[in-house]
Chain A
Amino acid sequence: MIEPGAEEYLVESTQPLTPEQATANLRSPDLSLRYYAAWWLGRFRVRSTEAVDALIAALEDEADRTELGGYPLRRNAARALGKIGNVRAVPALIGCLECSDFYVREAAAQSLEMLRDPSAATPLMQLLEGGVAAAIQVPGRPHLTQPYEAVLEALGAIGATEAIPLIQPFIEHPVPRVQCAANRAMYQLAKDPQYGEHLVKVLNDSNLQLRRVALGDLGAIGYIAAADAIANATVENSFKLIALKGLLESQLNQESEALSLSDDAIRVLNLMDSLL
């Protein structure tokens, strides 16, 4: 449920910038320059204190508004802070979970997923309030009441086992992508293969977008039993390579400091070779 079109527009209008210029542009009178600068700082992972501070300040921007009351600059700043990976942004991102703009809440949840700070667990759980019954489409908008996918994934990544009872019902949510996110989180939190197997089944779904989502989820959880199913999925090789890389890295992380190759790791590498 990402905001349609934004990324393409930004890539097309790429213009030369320096980290200092981009940081300064966050306070430019030209709103489009601010918007672009926030994206740019995230894209190039500018980790300077000044950039992080300016992006955190941009999470409270009031100048840049859409007709529907959205906050474009806040969305981009929230996304950038996740990519930059400085935990100093956590409290401000948590604040964004209460923003009136759905896309700001979504971007904040996605970035909190990347930052993996345990303090985000409780505020994220609050967005699941009302459970599946409250998780309905907003009339006239292309999204649900809350960014459930991002929230579920974040809770899984953070390792918030206390959220299991809240997450589990979402396995029955009518939206398949939300089901995927719930299975992904449940696998990470409960380590039960049934959740991984659900994602493997989705690799045979008739919807290509959904197959791509499941590939991403399997890569993120490093579900090694899915290796062959991933390699055989009817999805572009680039997506399959990224998913297998996720499996490989989770194998490598289980091993000792010195890099060594288990049989599973070698099996995954051979599958990756076959997809080049």
Chain B
Amino acid sequence: MTNIQELIRAVAEADSPARMVAAVQKLAAAKDPVAIPTLIASFGYNNPGAAVAAVTGLTELGEIAVPQLLENIDDYNYGARAYSIRTLAAIGDPRALEVLLTASATDFAPTVRRAAAKGLGFLQWHKLAQSDCTTAQVRAMDALLALTQDGDWSIRYAAIVGLQALAKIPELQSSIEVKFEEMLASDPEKAIRARVLLAQSPDK
């Protein structure tokens, strides 16, 4: 059994992109909360293989990784930020709501905004107190409804994916269906209308 500190050191000492990927993969596979800061740091190495391995590892660790993910979002590196947001979206912990709302609306990087928009649809609402839940869901929906007007087709696309998930909540369903009809009638992009069509027939 390898000591977790050795695995962490292997990441620090990796001297080629391939060794970095291998070291992060091993560290992620250890599923040890001690590894969380190192895994988050690897988002910033401009090494997609390592970053994807770290996303997987952190997602498997789940909610225990959320506070550090929220505290360590890299404001100066949008590549790293996208991986943080993607991980938070995949874990689905509703403590990420504020961060996802802000990122989806105001980040300059489309990749960050898309990840946040999708994530807003897949938060685990049942983890919230009953009294907070409806407010939070409506805020997520309103943010996504606003994004369906964005000039960037890929942002609108991500908003549809988020809204499709939210439409399973009975209180939100009718507002979302109205928006989908509107997009189907007026969105200039065929690809967007196709995604709406898929959202309207979720059995596919």
Contact = CB atoms under 8 A, between A and B. Distances in A.
Interface of A: 234, 236-238, 241-242, 245, 248-249, 252-253, 259-261, 265-266, 269, 272-273, 276
Given A237-B111, A276-B158, A252 B191 contact: yes
Interface in B109-129: 110-111, 114-115, 117-118
Determine the main DSSP class of B at the interface with A.
helix
Contact of A269 (B111, B114, B198): B198
A255 to B, nearest CB: 10
Nearest to A236: B111
B194 A261 contact: yes
Nearest to B86: A276
A238 B194 contact: no
B191 A276 contact: no
Interface in B176-200: 190-191, 193-195, 197-198
Nearest to B204: A266
Nearest to A246: B191
B154 interface: yes
B117 A276 contact: yes
B33 interface: no
Interface string B142-176: 00000000000110011001000000000000000
Contacts of A252: 190-191, 194
A248 B191 contact: yes
- Nearest 4 pairs between A and B by C-beta? A276-B118, A276-B114, A276-B158, A245-B191
B154 A261 contact: no
B62 interface: no
Contacts of B110: 238
A248 B49 contact: no
A175 B172 CA distance: 55
B204 A238 contact: no
Contacts of A276: 114-115, 117-118, 157-158, 161
A211 B197 CA distance: 31
18 contacts: A234-B48, A234-B49, A237-B114, A238-B110, A241-B154, A242-B154, A245-B191, A249-B190, A249-B191, A259-B194, A261-B198, A265-B194, A266-B204, A272-B157, A272-B195, A276-B114, A276-B115, A276-B157
Most A Cβ at <10 Å: residue of B158, B194, B195, B198: B194
Contacts of B115: 276
Contact of B198 (A237, A242, A249, A266): A266
A261 B197 CA distance: 8
Contacts of B193: 259
Contacts of A236: 111
Contacts of B161: 273, 276
Contacts of B197: 259-261
Given A252-B191, A261-B198, A276-B157, 20 more contacts: A237-B111, A238-B154, A241-B157, A242-B154, A248-B194, A249-B190, A249-B191, A252-B190, A259-B190, A259-B193, A261-B194, A261-B201, A261-B204, A266-B198, A266-B204, A269-B198, A272-B157, A273-B161, A276-B114, A276-B117
Nearest to B190: A252
Contacts of A260: 197
Contacts of A259: 190, 193-194, 197
B41 to A, nearest CB: 20
A53 B114 CA distance: 39
A236 to B, nearest CB: 7
A112 B107 CA distance: 36
Nearest to B195: A269
B120 to A, nearest CB: 11
A81 to B, nearest CB: 22
A252 B197 CA distance: 12
Contacts of B191: 245, 248-249, 252
A276 B100 CA distance: 14
Nearest to B164: A273
A249 B193 CA distance: 11
